[in-house]
Structure 1
Amino acid sequence: MKKYEEIHFVDSTKPVWNYSLFTEDDISNFQNGTHYSLYKLFGNKQMEVLGRKGTYFAVWAPNATKVFVKGNFNNWQNHTHQLFVRLDKSGIWEGFIPDVGKGEIYKYHIHGYQGLLLDKGDPFAHFWEQRPLTASITWGLDYNWLDFEWMENRGKHNALTSPYSVYEVHLASWMRPSKYDEETYNTYGQIAERLVPYVKEMGFTHVEFMPVMEHPFDGSWGYQGTGFFAPTSRFGNPQDFMWLVDCLHRAGIGVLLDWVPSHFPYDAHGLFMFDGTHTYEYADMRKGYHPDWNSYIFNYARGEVKSFLISSGRFWCDVFHADGLRVDAVSSMLRLDYSRSEGQWEPNEYGGNGNLEAIAFIKDLNETLYRDFPDIQTIAEEATDWPGISRPTFAEGLGFGMKWMMGWMHDTLDYFKMDPLFRPFMQNKFTFSMMYFYDENFMLPLSHDEVVHGKSPMIYKMPGDDWQKFANLRLLYTYMFTHPGAKLLFMGDEFAQTSEWNYKSELNWSLLQHASHGGMKHCVQKLNELYRSQPALYELQFKQEGFEWVDLEKRNEAVIVYKRKGLRPNDDLIIILNMTPVVRHDWQIDAWGKQVWEEIFNSDSKEFWGTGDVFNPAIEATLVDEETKHYKLRVHLPALAGIVLR
């Protein structure tokens, strides 16, 4: 806590009092890129000073000549409430304004470099006006959390040795009050009433929210943010979002947040050219401009920017009890030549294409988060072969807990899109993932990116007639949930949404009245149950000992067999995938050590809208070699289906 003795000067006759929360250590760490709780100092803070209630404001604008606060409280006059610049050349402007309380709308009026006049929102505000309005709102973060049990035990839920099944959600379009009105939203409270029991019913262990950080443009899906310390006001205030997280935690569901430290938009009220200069972004546009997204890249070499970003990441874990951050667009951060042709980028000091400052930032970010919150996970969305993404920094890695397995996603979808007639010739594409799986701690994503921009919904990626499409998709999900690694499924995929995702409308929930879609939903529900209940599917999901190919020789028939293994031999599972629409009776499988096996999952079950005609109520086992306990199992394989034996 800061002491009131740090007041430099108070003149109660003036509209702004010269008051500070910063110590010399705060300033030093801020400038050195080592201050990771700036949200406790910057922004607006409601408090009482010398018996007067009001709000303290602090903003970093190092090249400004004057900074004013304007808002409803002074009729939006530009020059009545001027902040004081610190004399330590930190570039921080601050001051206490008496009688300004919670809920005041405001902006900073900045006299910037070369006389440029700017009106900016507060980079550290916790609450903003709902778009298209762009001002910040004075607000506190008081909340009485009720998720004690979850927070005490979440290390077990978030561990790499526990089931980790993620439901990816875009809050605006998961469910709306009116499916025809893109301007109406459920509140955070209404979302909690609907989403929490649904996720619980489906058996997902975690939800991942596409960016909830404040953003001006709906069409950016949240990935072009202006409020790095504020949940979006589209659905309510910060305490309302805390309630949503609280409800999920009390239902035993973890919360991951998409977080975007890679770039930001050029909206006039945002971070771009904040004080008339390139304050937050690189000045050299070979590093500072993002050609893919028409946005600007943070200057990771600047200590103040690094402190800002790591404070933001830490803020969501500290204040909002996030169980982890999925860091977006890591590839673009690491590479100076990302989406740039020759001549559009400059090599680093060693002649390479790595952004050394971004690499250092990422390492410090992960070290800080795991130091302060050892029971969370950070997850990288990174699509290249950059080594050691999810390896500890002391082992020359970047320090993430997991990495999205983009190669698996693309190869798997390419395989399943194929007519089953040609699958026997493409088995290498299917099995290739295990060649590099142990390089990282991988999460298998079937994310929002795969069901937009003409890529078609999951169900229509599948070949064949209507029945075959559903059978193929159930088979794909069976493969996903029995493949090593954590899982992520985008909303709507669980019941075979028939249209591409549209952020302007809600999911087509009416599809669930059809047996085919209801069966798909039930299949995913049972796969989550299988994943959570079978230790062989999660205990060693990132270890070589947890997986073994059993049979890859039946290429012509496109039947693939592998084993998943837990810490106890009795927990071992055999997974058999029949990739063609041909029923195969009396199929022989080699098994060692155990004679008695039972079928515990069949994706062709009638309850999933399968045929239900081919199953294994009893599995015949013939002893081949007593010394090695080698058995031949005789099983029946339904068409386009996966079965799991224990």
Structure 2
Amino acid sequence: MVKQSADSNDASYLFNTGVGFNSQDYLGCHLATNGRATFRVWAPHAKAVAVVGDFNDWQPGALKLMGTTGIWQGQVAAVHVGDLYKFQVTTAAGQVQLKIDPFAQQFERKPGDASQVVQPVAMRWHDSLWLARRKKSHAANRPINIYEVHLGSWQRHSDGRYETYSELATALIPYVKQLGYTHIELMPVMEHLLDASWGYQQMGYFAPTSRFGNREAFLSFVDQCHQANIGVLVDWVPGHFIRNYDALYQYDGTPTFEYADPERANNRRWGAWNFDLGKAQVQSFLISSALYWLEQCHLDGLRVDAVSNMLYCDYDEGREGQVNQYGDNRNLEGITFLKKLNTTILARHPDVLMIAEESSAYPQVTGPVTNGGLGFNYKWNMGWMHDTLDFFMMDPLYRHAHFDLLTFAFVYMFDERFILPFSHDEVVHGKRSLMHKMPGDRYNQFANLRTMLAYMVAFPGKQLNFMGSEWGQFLEWRDWSALEWNDLDDSLNYRMQQFTSQLNLVYRHNRPLWEQDHDPAGIIYTHTDDPESSTMSFIRQAKRKYSFVVAAFNFVPVERQQYRIGVPYQGQYELLLNTEAQAFGGTWTKLETKFTAIDEPYRGQPASFTVTLPAMGALLIRPVKVMRGH
């Protein structure tokens, strides 16, 4: 692997050849101890470039073009931390434009968009124990239960102001810890101007948004998460960028970061510009950004947004029929870039998570690059999510006729390494909240929601839930206001929150529910072919032979007494969870907690026991003492 040198000629060469993977250490603004700052910016077709800012009363300080590198450089005196600045770019046609610094690590607060002078990261971290544990334990063999958060709307001050990174750390981290999640996934925190984009139309690819505080406050937030044994993932968007003319668009007066072909550059679906992923300098820029967040900010992984948009020539609206030079619809530059991205990152940091948000059936998204795959660690299982939601939104009377919505996922569950997501996209734009999607009266809505979340925990794959779902918020998500925390004054919402906490505890403390998520040996099908009863049971198996969890589900509001479940061994079993327990908002005041499996074969298993399967409910049961070898 090529290591970037501090020598300027080497750094510019590496950037221009697509292997400058720490380019932020060279390009951008670099402040020296004597108050002088060196500014460098890539604008290969510019006629002239200057830097303007607080330090020179916004009067142009000319930069010089460094040979044929396309990089402009200059030094300015009396520069201070916190000074605002921009680059003044004169195009070949003579047009003068003010542009952001693409490598800025901090920006002024919106509505302004000037870059801000910062010192190099000098964070004193306290997460060495967390990072050491992360290196020792492979993610596939760990429980991963993610709480997806939009920082601008998780909680706000009573007057509508944002909470700061520091305030969020004080409130959010203990909450996530109490609820039993293993990771927080932040919707994009890279700097962006438009709140309504939720951060997916990014401007600052190296800068945490100033909405909630400065860069150091964000780093402290991550550090505090790690000290609480909570991982931090962040959504990142390498496919497209904000339309604003003072950002990356036509940076030097010509297509610089975007495709030269205006049709390929224009992203109609999201109102953005597509990066030219085949351009060497863009690859250096984006991979440097990814590594910056993972190395300098200590993130545990990136969820790469809109991967399908980078895989297909015809993915966007209005581009139907577009093909590559071979006559098919693969975006060859995008595919090559994604392989390069994952290969580079995981070679340096094999313990981080690269997660694809990919909505098509593109093969081997999580397959090794050496075998033709894209090299991601995980992929969101969008098919499972849509089918499961469609099933649970249905009136229970008709579920038996659509049981394939649940069972179809059994066919492909091990084709990729999957995360099962109930994400923000499913609770916005009129789609309704998870709880509001559920059929029936309010009691039955909660019963359905508890059963669905228990089904997700039992199904092979890691998990993700969007904020507010943990207590069954009725209103769909609104990015402009806080969650409806007053819901918790209602006993059903409060008990739903207690259920989620207990479900997460059961998940984390029982290895069968996560240890073999990506191995067919991790599941034994016992009763999955009986749509008429609208019930299902299967066994999740750990690596140890006698360590397993029995999961049984009733998808209709009719109690099933003397419901028989086949198991591998005779002996004693105990209840882990009953979704209909009164403590969770159900009707069961007295729980069946002990079960005895007898020598009565059932559905391919040599032993079995009977349970009362609650109406619209689920049971999780584990062996306590079984007859080994029988």
TM bracket, shorter-chain basis: over 0.9
Q: Shift of residue 629 of structure 1?
A: 7.9
Aligned to 1:415: 391
Within the candidate set 273, 283, 286, 2:260 is matched to: 283
1:257 paired with 2:237, answer no
Structure 2 counterparts to residues 17-32 of structure 1, below 5 A: 22-32=7-17
Do residues 267 (structure 1) and 244 (structure 2) align?
yes
Is 1:40 the equivalent of 2:25?
A: yes
In the alignment, the residues of structure 2 paired with residue 91 and residue 629 of structure 1 have an alpha-carbon distance, to the nearest angstrom, of: 70
Amino acid at match of 2:28: G
Q: Return the alpha-carbon distance in structure 2 between the equivalents of residues 484 and 435 of structure 1.
A: 12
Name the structure 2 match of 1:300: 277
**Of 314, 317, 322, which residue of structure 1 is paired with 2:291?**
314
Q: Give runs of aligned pairs for residues 39-188 of structure 1, distance below 5 A.
A: 39-48=24-33, 52-77=34-59, 79=60, 81-87=61-67, 89-140=68-119, 141-156=121-136, 159-178=139-158, 181=160, 184-188=161-165
Displacement of 1:156 in angstroms is 4.8
Matched residue of 2:505: which SS? Answer: helix
- Structure 2 residue aligned with 1:484, among 460, 464, 485? 460
What is the CA–CA distance in structure 2 between the aligned matches of 1:543 and 1:590, rounded to whole Å? 21
Q: Secondary structure at the match of 1:316?
A: helix
Alignment match, 1:402: 378
CA contact (8 A) 2:419 2:462 kept: yes
Give the Cα–Cα distance (whole angstroms) in 1 for the partners of residues 619 and 590 of structure 2: 10
CA contact under 8 A between 1:624 and 1:630: conserved in structure 2?
yes
CA distance in 2, matches of 1:588, 1:625: 10
Structure 1, gaps ≥5 residues long:
1-19
Per-residue CA deviation, residues 418-461 of structure 1 (Å, 9 max, x unaligned), is 11111111111111111111110000000000000000011110
Cα distance change of structure 1 residues 284 and 58 upon mapping to structure 2, 3 Å threshold? same
Letter matched to residue 593 of structure 1 = Y
Q: Which amino acid aligns with 2:562?
A: D
For 1:17, the equivalent position in structure 2 comes to none
Name the structure 1 match of 2:187.
210
Secondary structure at the aligned position of 2:35 is classed as strand
The residue correspondences of 1:224-235 to structure 2 (distance < 5 A) are 224-235=201-212
> What TM-score do the two structures reach when normalised by structure 2?
0.96
Q: Describe the superposition over 1:310-339 as per-residue Cα deviations: whole angstroms up to 9, x where unpaired.
A: 111111001000000000000011100003
The answer to whether the 8 A contact 2:447-2:586 is kept is: yes
Q: In the aligned structure 2, how far is the partner of 1:158 from the partner of 1:214?
A: 31
- Normalising by structure 1, report the TM-score: 0.93
Shift of 1:21: 6.2
* Superposed CA offset, 1:379-409 (max 9, x none): 0000000000011101210000000000000
Post-superposition offset of 1:625: 6.0
Q: Deviations over 1:587-629 (max 9, x none)?
A: 1112222322111111111111111146323324331269x98
Query: Structure 1 residues 599 and 252 mapped into 2: Cα distance closer, same or farther (>3 Å)?
Result: same
| CA distance in structure 2 between the partners assigned to 1:555 and 1:336 by the alignment | 40
Quote the Cα distance in structure 2 between the aligned partners of 1:205 and 1:645: 23
SS of 2:588's partner is coil
User: CA 1:122/1:22 → structure 2, altered by over 3 Å: closer, same or farther?
Assistant: farther
Paired residue total? 616
Query: Quick one: distance in 2 between partners of 1:157 and 1:287?
Result: 42
- Cα distance, 1:246 vs structure 2: 0.3
Shift, 1:570, TM fit: 2.0
Alpha-carbon distance, 1:552 to partner: 2.3
Superposed CA deviations along residues 203-257 of structure 1, whole A, max 9, x for unmatched, are: 1000000000000111100000000000000011100000000000000000001
- In structure 2, the CA distance between the partners of 1:583 and 1:90, relative to structure 1 (3 Å rule), is same
Residue 341 and residue 504 in structure 1: after superposition, are their counterparts in 2 closer, same or farther (change >3 A)? closer
The alpha carbon displacement at 1:22 in A equals 4.5
Gaps of 5+ in 2: 623-630
SS at match of 1:248: helix
Alignment partner for residue 315 of structure 2, among 338, 341, 350? Answer: 338
Aligned AA (1:176): R
CA distance 1:225–1:341, shift in 2 (3 Å): closer
Residue number among 598, 602, 607 corresponding to 2:574 in the alignment:
598
Aligned to 1:16: none
Residue 493 (str. 1) matches residue 478 (str. 2): no
Q: Match of 2:627?
A: none
CA contact (8 A) 2:191 2:204 kept: yes
Closer/same/farther in 2, CA of residues 116 and 326 from structure 1, 3 Å limit: same
Which whole-Å CA distance do the structure 1 matches of 2:36 and 2:321 have between them?
Answer: 48
Give CA-to-partner distance per residue, 1:37-62, whole Å, 9 cap, x none: 101111111114xxx43111111011
**2:628 match:** none
Q: Which residue of 2 aligns with 1:384?
A: 360
Aligned counterpart, 2:524: 548
1:22-49 CA distances to partner (integer Å, 9 max, x unpaired)?
Answer: 533222221111111101111111114x
- Deviation for aligned residue 1:361: 0.6
Q: How far apart are residue 157 of structure 1 and its match?
A: 5.8
Deviates more, 1:631-640 or 1:327-336: 631-640
Please report the RMSD computed on the Cα atoms of aligned residues, expressed in angstroms: 1.6
Q: Say which SS state the counterpart of residue 632 (structure 1) adopts.
A: strand
Q: 1:371 to 1:25 in 2, by over 3 A?
A: same
* Cα separation, 2, equivalents of 1:67 and 1:629: 75
Equivalent-residue separation in structure 2 for 1:457 and 1:293 (angstroms): 23
* Structure 2 CA distance for partners of 1:171 and 1:235, relative to 1, 3 Å: same
Instruction: Give the conservation status (yes or no) of the 8 Å contact 1:623–1:629.
Output: no
State how far apart, in whole Å, the 1-side matches of 2:601 and 2:308 are.
51
Letter in 2 for 1:636: T
Separation (CA, whole Å) in 2 of partners of 1:394 and 1:412: 33
Q: 1:629 to 1:217 in 2, by over 3 A?
A: closer
In structure 2, distance between residues paired with 1:585 and 1:562: 18
> 1:121-180 deviations in whole A, cap 9, x for unaligned?
1100001011101101000222111111111111356611100000000001000112x5
Contact 1:212–1:222 (Cα < 8 Å) also in 2: yes
Counterpart CA distance in 1 for 2:479 and 2:549 is 39
Equivalent in the alignment of 1:535:
511
Query: In structure 1, what is the equivalent of residue 178 of structure 2?
Result: 201
1:113 is paired with a residue of what secondary structure?
coil
Give % identity: 40
